[in-house]
Amino acid sequence: MAKKTTKSKPLLIVESNAKVRTISRYLGGKYQVVSCRGHVRDLPKSKLGVEVENGFLPTYEVTPGQEELLDEMGKDWKKAERILLACDPDREGEAICWHLVEALGKRPGIERITFNEITEPAVKAAVQAPRKINMELVYAQQARRILDRLVGYKVSPLLWPIVRAGLSAGRVQTVALRLIVEREREVRSFVPQEYWSIGATMQAKPAKGKKKGVEFPATLFSIDEKRVVSPLDKRRGKTMVIGSKDEAEGIVARFSGKKFVVKEVKKRDAKRSPSPPFITSTLQQSASGMLGFSPKKTMLMAQRLYEGKDLGSGERTGLITYMRTDSVRVAQGAMQANRAMIEKKYGEKYLPEKPRFYKNPRASQDAHEAIRPTDVNRTPEVLKKFLEKDEYRLYSIIWKRFVASQMANAITKQTTVNIEADGGLFRANGHELVFPGFYKVWTQSGEGDVLLPPLEEGDELTCKKISPKQHFTEPPPRFTDASLVRGLEESGVGRPSTYAPIISTILDRGYVERVVGGRALKPTEIGELTADLLVRTFKDIFDVGFTAGMEGKLDEIEEGEKDWVAVLKEFYNAFERQLEGADERMYKAKKEQEEDTDLKCELCGKTMRLQFGRSGRFLGCSGYPECKNTKPVTFDEDGKPKPVELEEKVVCDKCGRDMVIKSGRYGLFLACSGYPECKNTKNYGDDLGVTCPKGGCGGKVIQIKTRKGRIFFGCSNYPKCDFATWYRPVEKPCPQCKATFLVEKGRGKKRRLVCIAEGCNYEENSEGEGE
């Protein structure tokens, strides 16, 4: 009798361990589901790995740490009758599938499946609709990887002898850095301009039965038919700027005692439509502005929600659709479920007659749906007990934005009152929410209702007060994570999967730092120098338009409209020409950054020059190499360089010599003047006027930077004293436990002062009111 053979289960490979158990359960255990844990092959780390002369042929190696996994997977690969590759539904996921085939061997029965959400219906539908690996997607990913390798591998070494070893250039990261540097220079060069506005408090006639009329604010809109504007207002037509206190006071005097009459009352209903559901960039922007999340943290939380959470059954359930997308499209079923939920939960009047459809962004590939809940009936309140705090906060805004996208318009009644007086026109604006519509779910920030009294044309008003107010024009704001993502997206630079890594990279490299106490991004000296040298040496490669154009070509490769080798060849021909003499041009560009100062070297009397070194700017003697005197540099209010000097003498506690300020890779520090005989060093930072809280230490709390440029506050006696905190100390004693200082927590309206002394829970708001 013939022996009965047992067939192996079909093999289904996913990208993440978190999906294995969930998908296996959805498929009833009929598939062997395993994870490849991300990329299994990549270009080598120690060499270029691209044969430029051989059609840009890449040389791939097994990703370190994946060797054993591939060996184990290879056994199942050979035995399985059918293999389904189910990595993420994007270029990277498609490339991982292809690399798996290349690493484990081509054979019959290999198919590709994708799903936009990890739910049972989506996974089962995907299994029933397999396809071949899309090589256009693979070629697009491979072209991007090779482009990035060519630029990084050929350009980064040019920076090492000129700026500092270990620095890196990136095809897209350098463009992002360039945008931040250019914005910082706009901020620095901005000259504030004074201007004034004229405000008034008007009072209407008393209503019937009332002794006193309602008061309301108005603002001078025009004078002698010239509209009052700020100096930055570029509108056409007759305008005027009130540029001084004398001019403002003269205008106030002009209207003193004059008759104020209502010239016109305009009323209209204004409609506000909801925004589309989130795509990757808008999710990162909203999470930054509303929740204070970095793009990296946003994507980490979204990944968890996508891969699924245990909702009490002991099994994972996917909660949102795939989070790397540039499309606002929503599946018909999800849209209908949303509308049904809105009608049931909020009522028929909150549901528009027809479904809303949104137009995709200009460069959208429309490969996936928008980011939405997998089941709109899972409200944030229902899921709160199953989610971590930040997961819940992110899910809440995803759910609310999706629900709001299919709700009725919000309607406000807007009233504009024009008031005439001696050739001047004052304007009062009122608004009242008539119907909240989608505001019911997606609350908008801003003021509440501003109500005006009933007024009619010809009504005479009493001007209770008229006064001028001084203003100054403000520079453009520094980039935040959110506005940088928006800027990159609008410029066509990068794609949904790259925004978070770009920002993380320029922060980790020390090219950019966050402004203390805020979210704004500011270039470091090294970041500014690096951007200048790269942009001046490679004018086209790091041009915003050129980089955006390259993104468009990668999209065309994905769509099968361009050949990936031809795109790389076109790029490399131009790149190779710019590489010729690049080291000389970069060195020359750096020397041009140096400049003489009015300062004299105290050792030899020659001029001190402002120079760039491996740790940033410093003052160096122009008599080098005969005189090797250097000093850390700072700048006065007029921008003139001056040496950083100790306010009081500091003695080396090892040899008794004077300590001097030196500049290193991670900022300023104190070093013994007896170096190299004595190598003693100490922390140096901004003195915050706060003494170290550790008993008997006697040190001062100073501002210090980590190796990645993150600011914290520690003791000047480190490493003898290990006191440190991420929160900025404030020179204000705790009224509860008498600790010598409090620390700042929170931002803006949420800012508060907190005592961090052990056992003390004192807290007060920024106005000093204790809690």
The pair of three-digit structure tokens given for residue 658, joined into one six-digit string = 């004077």
Of the residues 26, 306, 322, 572, only one is catalytic, namely 322
Contact, 463 vs 200, CB < 8 A? yes
3-state secondary structure at position 183:
helix
Residue with tokens 């404030």: 730
Alpha carbon distances (Å) from 314 to 14, 15, 118, 181, 317: 21, 22, 16, 50, 10
The CA distance from 6 to 4, in Å, is 7
The pair of three-digit structure tokens given for residue 513, joined into one six-digit string = 């730092």
What residues form DSSP beta bridges with 410? 272
322 is catalytic: yes
The CA distance from 561 to 494, in Å, is 20
* Residue-wise DSSP of 287-315: IIIII---HHHHHHHHHHHHH-EE-SSSS
Q: Which residues contact 269 (CB under 8 A, 6 or more apart)?
A: 411, 412, 413, 414, 434
Residue 69, Cβ neighbours under 10 Å: how many?
Answer: 16
Residue 109, Cβ neighbours under 10 Å: how many?
Answer: 11
| Cα dihedral 593→595→599→601 (10° resolution) | 80
Alpha carbon distances (Å) from 530 to 164, 305, 535, 583, 709: 10, 38, 8, 13, 16
3-state secondary structure at position 59:
coil
The CA distance from 725 to 722, in Å, is 10
3-state secondary structure at position 743:
strand
Active site residues: 322
